[in-house]
């Protein structure tokens, strides 16, 4: 992560005359041209990492493969950060160190974050924190498991607060010294749990135009989890008035009056008698009501039972399966 940030004595929130809502989105081609000009101004003229050029633009081969996230205020680029995905042919890190020198794997879940830059007008604001969080959420939402970066030594504390960890190596690029940083996404996620107030402020100020939510969605629970509140032994059936039964097999409509009548008239016999093994009556009733041949109806003990019965017919040793993560 090459950086162009001052080291402010304190972080300030955006305030007058900066009251415009922050728009955060992937950079467009037009945004990229602006980014290349800002990169030249900052990394060539201001920091002395690169030599100035007559085109007054600074870009490299990774720009053919990387992603930029850009923060705009009043329609103008105020800050940006770049992400190099594992599908790229190389990382910026490869210019400085051999991969075998680094204490982590270069695998299909490794992302590189770089070029975190805030234009002078907005330095000392929370834009840098917003972009670091956005980069983290991008990687998290796209299945990445580790971030690596190089952070300018003068602002190293910024990255350490964000959960990145030094590996004990430094690299030199022009007049700038960078420390090599990395962290598992899980460690960054744990660190971010303490940023409640900051995240609340950022969320209230940002027009988040990324295709995943600002906050990581809650884990997806099995629909039958509501029984934890009722009790697996039907401990508190009276709670049904306040608990939503949300299993996929639970009906969202009231039972048939005929079913209620049968249960009311013959409760003792029904409770001590097992149903027909092959569900013949159920199959015949569904076939009649739906106009389906009985041979085409497969009863089962639930959706999972039916799925597992079908998998052996659908899948072969040559099949490929896409497993979706319900946590998003």
- What pLDDT is recorded for position 150? 96
Q: Tokens 């992302």 belong to which residue? A: 111
- Across the chain, the runs of DSSP E, i.e. the strands, are 3-4, 22-26, 67-73, 76-84, 110-118, 146-152, 165-173, 176-184, 206-208
- What pLDDT is recorded for position 187? 96
The number of beta carbons lying within 10 Å of the beta carbon of residue 136 is 24
Tokens of 313: 């017919």
Residue 84 sits at φ, ψ, to 5 deg, of -100, 120
- All structural domains of the chain: 3-208 (3.40.630.30), 220-273 (no CATH), 279-328 (no CATH)
**Could you list the pLDDT tens digit for every one of the 328 residues in the chain?**
555 554 443 444 455 444 568 999 999 999 999 999 999 999 999 999 999 999 999 999 999 999 999 999 999 999 999 999 999 999 999 999 999 999 999 999 999 999 999 999 999 899 999 999 999 999 999 999 999 999 999 999 999 999 999 999 999 999 999 999 999 999 999 999 888 899 999 999 999 999 999 999 877 666 677 888 888 888 998 998 888 887 777 788 889 999 899 899 999 998 899 988 889 999 999 999 999 999 999 888 877 888 888 888 888 888 887 777 655 4
Residue 14 sits at φ, ψ, to 5 deg, of -70, 130
- What pLDDT is recorded for position 6? 43
- What pLDDT is recorded for position 1? 52
Tokens of 97: 């160190």
User: What burial class does residue 37 get, using C-beta atoms within 10 Å of its C-beta: 0-12 exposed, 13-18 middle, 19+ buried?
Assistant: middle
Q: What is d(CA 46, CA 247) in angstroms, rounded to the nearest whole number? A: 60
Q: What is d(CA 236, CA 174) in angstroms, rounded to the nearest whole number? A: 70
The number of beta carbons lying within 10 Å of the beta carbon of residue 100 is 6
- Written as one string, the DSSP assignment of 150-173 is EEEGGGHHHHHHTT-EEEEEEEEE
- What pLDDT is recorded for position 308? 84
Query: 29: number of CA atoms within 13 Å, CB side?
Result: 1
């Amino acid at each position: 992560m090459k950086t162009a940030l001052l080291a402010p004595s304190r972080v300030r929130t955006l305030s007058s005359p900066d009251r415009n809502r922050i728009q955060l989105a992937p950079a467009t081609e037009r945004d990229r041209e602006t980014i290349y000009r800002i990169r030249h101004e900052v990394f060539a003229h201001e920091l002395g990492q690169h030599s100035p050029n007559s085109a007054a633009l600074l870009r490299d081969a990774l720009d053919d493969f990387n992603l930029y996230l850009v923060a705009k205020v009043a329609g103008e680029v105020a800050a940006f950060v770049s992400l190099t995905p594992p599908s790229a042919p190389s990382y910026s890190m490869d210019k400085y160190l051999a991969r075998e020198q680094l204490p982590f794997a270069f695998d299909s879940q490794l992302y590189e974050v770089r070029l975190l830059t805030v234009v002078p007008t907005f330095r000392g604001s929370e834009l840098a924190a917003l972009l670091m969080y956005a980069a983290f959420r991008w990687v998290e939402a796209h299945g990445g498991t580790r971030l690596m970066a190089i952070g300018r030594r003068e602002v190293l504390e910024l990255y350490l607060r964000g959960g990145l960890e030094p590996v004990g190596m430094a690299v030199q690029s022009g007049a700038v010294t960078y420390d090599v940083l990395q962290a598992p996404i899980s460690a960054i996620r744990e660190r971010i749990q303490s940023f409640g107030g900051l995240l609340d402020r950022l969320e209230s100020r940002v027009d988040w135009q990324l295709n995943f939510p600002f906050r990581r969605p809650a884990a997806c629970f099995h629909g039958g989890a509501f029984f934890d509140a009722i009790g697996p032994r039907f401990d508190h059936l009276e709670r049904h008035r306040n608990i939503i039964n949300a299993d996929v097999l639970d009906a969202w409509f009231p039972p048939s009056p005929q079913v209620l009548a049968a249960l009311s008239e013959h409760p003792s016999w029904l409770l001590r008698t097992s149903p027909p093994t092959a569900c013949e009556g159920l199959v015949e009733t569904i076939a009649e009501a739906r106009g389906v041949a009985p041979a085409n109806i497969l009863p089962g003990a639930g959706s999972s039972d039916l799925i597992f019965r079908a998998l052996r017919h659908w899948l072969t040793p040559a099949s490929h399966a896409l497993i979706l993560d319900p946590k998003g």
